Structure 1
Amino acid sequence: MYEVLYVTSEMYPFSKTGGLGDVMGALPPAISRNGVRTAVVTPFYGRMNLDGHKLRLVYSDLHIGYPWPSTTAEIYQTDYEGISVYFVGRGEYFDRRHYYNTHNGDYFDNCERFIFFCKAVLKLARMLPSPPAIIHSHDWQSALVPPYLYFERAGDSFWTHTKTVTTIHNLAFQGRFSERLFHESGLPPEAWSMHGAEFYGDLNMLKASVAYSDAVTTVSPSYAQEILGPEFGCGLEGFLNSQAHKLEGILNGADYSVWDPGSDKFLPCCYGPDAVQGKQECKISMLREFSMSEQLEDKPVLGFIGRLRDQKGIDLLIDILPGLMEKDLGVIVLGEGNLAYEARLQELMENYPGRLCVLVGYTENLAHLIQAGTDIFLMPSRYEPCGLTQIYALRFGTPPVATAVGGLRDTITPYPADGATGFTFARPESGLFYDAIMQALGAWENREEWVRMVERAMRKEFTWDRAAHEYINLYRKLGARI
């Protein structure tokens, strides 16, 4: 029935906390457009966007048997962009205000929640008329699907021809829990080893997935290489080197049906590489929306959109904000996360009214407006497995200033090289970040050169169809007949 079954803890437009949701809202439909029958399984959260999507109840009491023998799940289904989306429901696990955590930390039962989810995925797949050729899991929340299937395959011919793939979107999040939870998970004792699920005496769900998957991917070629070393390997670099034969980096794409200023429903004026003047109209509208100084209409405005945490380098931006405010420019920050960073940014905003705008939270319409209305996009990440916001910034004609890591390196051609589309700096250090911004501001002063860079950036193509072809080739290399 389905040739590829994707397993994910979030999927745009239904659920999203970051890039994973965007990827899973775009990759499966792209695979489907290439003639591969595709479905997605994701949790049925209490807080989801279901506007315009009709759900039907497929199973009201699908037996899961975890954490108690009598435990069941509800399974719902809807159609989205030519694919089937299944939702795994159980109120005490998924009907919560947030998906994974609150400001006070992770939910105490995250391991049990996603063990239940992984078991439900395989129970659902077992109910299908025929087994999927590929089951493709994403990040630690769905990471136990491949090891469960690996050990079930030995005694259940239903799985004989099903191959598994794991994609690492961010190695920093591995799903590490106590040994007790391993013994309650249903994995056999032989999985508890340094070659399997065990990691310094703990259960490591992502490590288990890498160990027992038939292939492992990351979301950019550079990140696939970086995680093999100690700087980005997050303690797993030795194990990942032992699995390097099945590791491949496939660059994410952008959903240009959503992120394209030529047709963007959130913008007051559409524009493109052949009509960039519309970007200035978006800038004026953005400044009015955020009550910023009209004098900034003819000055550079810098934008940051992202989680306010160390990975994204928000502390580097905070360090240099007072120095930037001495220049004739504006800065807009959109995001939420670390409460101390939120408070410090809001404190700084009070010191620079009309020139520094801090918006705590995230909404799609504001993100689109900032991408279109700012002149320079800031992305000082300490690491970036792929990054999507810099790809969006390129399409919106907002050259990025970014650390030369991971997918940022794979998508930005740094100034002053021929064909430059943005600016990069070597290491996540405040001084280097500040110098790169100064370089960008110098280029912005040369209006003809700047417009040429903007036009080049807007013509860059990072499509999901390209990524889909690479994934389909990988599936075929595993022997899938698709």
Structure 2
Amino acid sequence: MRVLFVTPECYPLVKTGGLADVSAALPPALNRAGAEVRLLLPGYPAVLNGLTDLQPVGNPLTDLPGGAPATLRIGRMPGGVLAYVLDAPSLYDRPGNPYLGPDGKDWPDNAERFAALSWCAAGFAAEDGLDPWWRPDVLHGHDWQTGLIPAYLELRPDRFAGPFRPGTVTTIHNIAYQGLFGAWMMSDLGLPSAAFRIDGVEYYGGVGFLKAGCFYSDRLTTVSPTYAHEIQTAEHGAGLEGLLATRAEALTGILNGVDYDIWDPATDAHIAARYGAADLGGKDLCKADLQATFGLDRRADAPLAAVVSRLTGHKGLDLVLEAASQWIAWGGQLAVLGNGEPALEAGFRHLATWYPKSVGVRIGYDEALSHRIQAGADLFLVPSRSEPCGLTQMYALKYGTLPLVRRTGGLADTIVDANPAAVNDGSATGFQFVNATAQELTWALRRAAALYRKPERWHVLQQHAMTRDFGWHGPAEEYMELYRAVAPVLVG
């Protein structure tokens, strides 16, 4: 089973969120399950510099949307997986964030940049396939940046008809990001004008990249079973709920996994001391290290809560700001790593100023520090208003840092609330609250603080949490079953 895994980012080369972690960990797991997976990535400088044995493939590309000159190249990821890269300097040779300019706004040509990525992916299915030695059975695109792949296959048979049509899968990692562009771009994007209709690419008067993927793809997936149901509702569907409801039989929720080669306190080189479920002694050293790093009082008896997140209202971080003073009054501490909305960044900075020995804040992104936070904290906060899957709460489980989450999406699928029954039967792994209010978060923090004062019960929860297995083996098998269902479809 040959699979082309098309993604706009992949750790460790380029990362803005969990999609990069998935793009790094899922292809090797699929290869172990019997697939032959290759990546297709945009030619960002970090990608071109990070791949080894980089070689050109075929002839230069001359018909990309927007007319950008490009070359397809192939090399190896740091982990050994083969990866194609669309080397188009006018589209991708830019510093910083892959989607935003120095002014913090979207690059004005993002439509052409990611239409080109989709066009290139579709080119593998053409009669004169881009790689004469390798044709995929499945084209698997991720998020809005790849949404035009199945649209091109359906709408442009003049360009992409080949000996067989590969199956198409589109994965929705976060439906809030949809890629909506002006209707006047239809021709520039290589789309026929007849496709600008509700049963096509038209979406609220513009061209919807994610809408196109949801409409034309053979199968749709999202990153947790609960989120697959939620996005068919008005509350979480972001305008696509009607379309997704009509495609419910084609929509599958497959929970993301964790790469335990990277996220495991028994082997993690970033943390102050290594430890495991059988011996949590090293976690105490990690907590002392984290308190020192953030300038907090070095108190073993203070429950230390942590946040590693984009600082946005969507992530529920305003609720943390509201609840923080009560948490501190109960003797708690708080460590925050992230960046995002200026008002929230300022709010957390002010909080650290008011409570310098109880609150520490780092604005920005730091991969190594995120590991140290997972290892050193007692409680990990993920109070999201919506969360397709979430990975940080699963990392926290492995590190014995009990997650406190809002009951939504993948958070509901991965964390068992420490209610009395679940604590007694040994199934509890963290704390949940239901409604996105500071009051409910505060009550959940109160329950956590009370249980923290009972060390024996807290340690039992930690050990149970650390034994939960969210590795990629199970999800990879689910994807393999999906691939077998959609490809290949012979034509002619």
Shift of 1:191: 2.1
Deviates more, 1:210-219 or 1:116-125: 116-125
Distance, in Å, in 1 between the alignment partners of 2:213 and 2:373 is 38
Q: Are the equivalent residues in 2 in contact too, given 1:412–1:423 (CA < 8 A)?
A: yes
- Of 216, 219, 237, the residue aligned with 2:223 is 219
Which position in structure 1 is the counterpart of 2:28?
A: 29
Which position in structure 1 is the counterpart of 2:110?
A: 110
- Of 317, 324, 327, the residue aligned with 1:321 is 324
The answer on 1:453 being equivalent to 2:461 is yes
The answer on 1:143 being equivalent to 2:147 is yes
Q: Note closer, same or farther for the CA distance 1:118–1:33 as it changes in structure 2 (3 Å cut).
A: same
Give % identity.
38
Which position in structure 1 is the counterpart of 2:247?
A: 243
Please give the root-mean-square deviation of Cα atoms over the aligned residues, in Å. 1.9
The answer on 1:275 being equivalent to 2:279 is yes
- Of 414, 423, 429, the residue aligned with 2:437 is 429
The answer on 1:401 being equivalent to 2:400 is no
Aligned residue runs from structure 1 range 168-179, under 5 A: 168-179=172-183
The answer on 1:8 being equivalent to 2:12 is no
Q: Are the equivalent residues in 2 in contact too, given 1:131–1:158 (CA < 8 A)?
A: no
Which position in structure 2 is the counterpart of 1:78?
A: 76
Which position in structure 2 is the counterpart of 1:463?
A: 471
Shift of 1:239: 1.2
TM-score (structure 1 length as normaliser): 0.95
Q: Are the equivalent residues in 2 in contact too, given 1:131–1:159 (CA < 8 A)?
A: no
Shift of 1:377: 0.5
Which position in structure 2 is the counterpart of 1:288?
A: 292
Which position in structure 1 is the counterpart of 2:452?
A: 444
Distance, in Å, in 2 between the alignment partners of 1:48 and 1:131 is 22
Shift of 1:199: 1.1
Distance, in Å, in 2 between the alignment partners of 1:355 and 1:347 is 12
Deviates more, 1:401-410 or 1:126-135: 126-135
Distance, in Å, in 2 between the alignment partners of 1:449 and 1:120 is 55
Deviates more, 1:224-233 or 1:73-82: 73-82
- Structure 2 residues without counterparts, runs of 5 or longer: none
Deviates more, 1:462-471 or 1:65-74: 65-74
Deviations 1:150-200 (A, max 9, x none): 234577552524100000000000001110122321122332211221112
Which position in structure 1 is the counterpart of 2:88?
A: 90
Distance, in Å, in 2 between the alignment partners of 1:282 and 1:342 is 26
> What is the letter of the counterpart of residue 110 of structure 2?
N
Which position in structure 1 is the counterpart of 2:387?
A: 384
- Structure 1 residues without counterparts, runs of 5 or longer: none
Q: Are the equivalent residues in 1 in contact too, given 2:327–2:445 (CA < 8 A)?
A: no
Q: Note closer, same or farther for the CA distance 1:60–1:479 as it changes in structure 2 (3 Å cut).
A: closer
Deviates more, 1:274-283 or 1:248-257: 274-283
Deviations 1:35-65 (A, max 9, x none): 21110001121245956x4241314962142
Q: Are the equivalent residues in 2 in contact too, given 1:41–1:85 (CA < 8 A)?
A: yes
The answer on 1:261 being equivalent to 2:257 is no
Shift of 1:144: 0.8
Distance, in Å, in 1 between the alignment partners of 2:180 and 2:219 is 21
Q: Are the equivalent residues in 1 in contact too, given 2:70–2:89 (CA < 8 A)?
A: no
Shift of 1:67: 4.0
> What is the letter of the counterpart of residue 439 of structure 1?
R
Deviates more, 1:71-80 or 1:348-357: 71-80
Deviations 1:122-159 (A, max 9, x none): 33562222421100000001111111122345775525
The answer on 1:337 being equivalent to 2:337 is no
Q: Note closer, same or farther for the CA distance 1:141–1:292 as it changes in structure 2 (3 Å cut).
A: same
TM-score (structure 2 length as normaliser): 0.93
Report the secondary structure of 2:52's partner residue.
coil
Deviations 1:390-441 (A, max 9, x none): 0000111011110000000000011112310000001111110111111111
Distance, in Å, in 2 between the alignment partners of 1:217 and 1:94 is 28
> What is the letter of the counterpart of residue 121 of structure 1?
A
Q: Note closer, same or farther for the CA distance 1:171–1:374 as it changes in structure 2 (3 Å cut).
A: same
Shift of 1:368: 0.3
Distance, in Å, in 1 between the alignment partners of 2:324 and 2:178 is 33
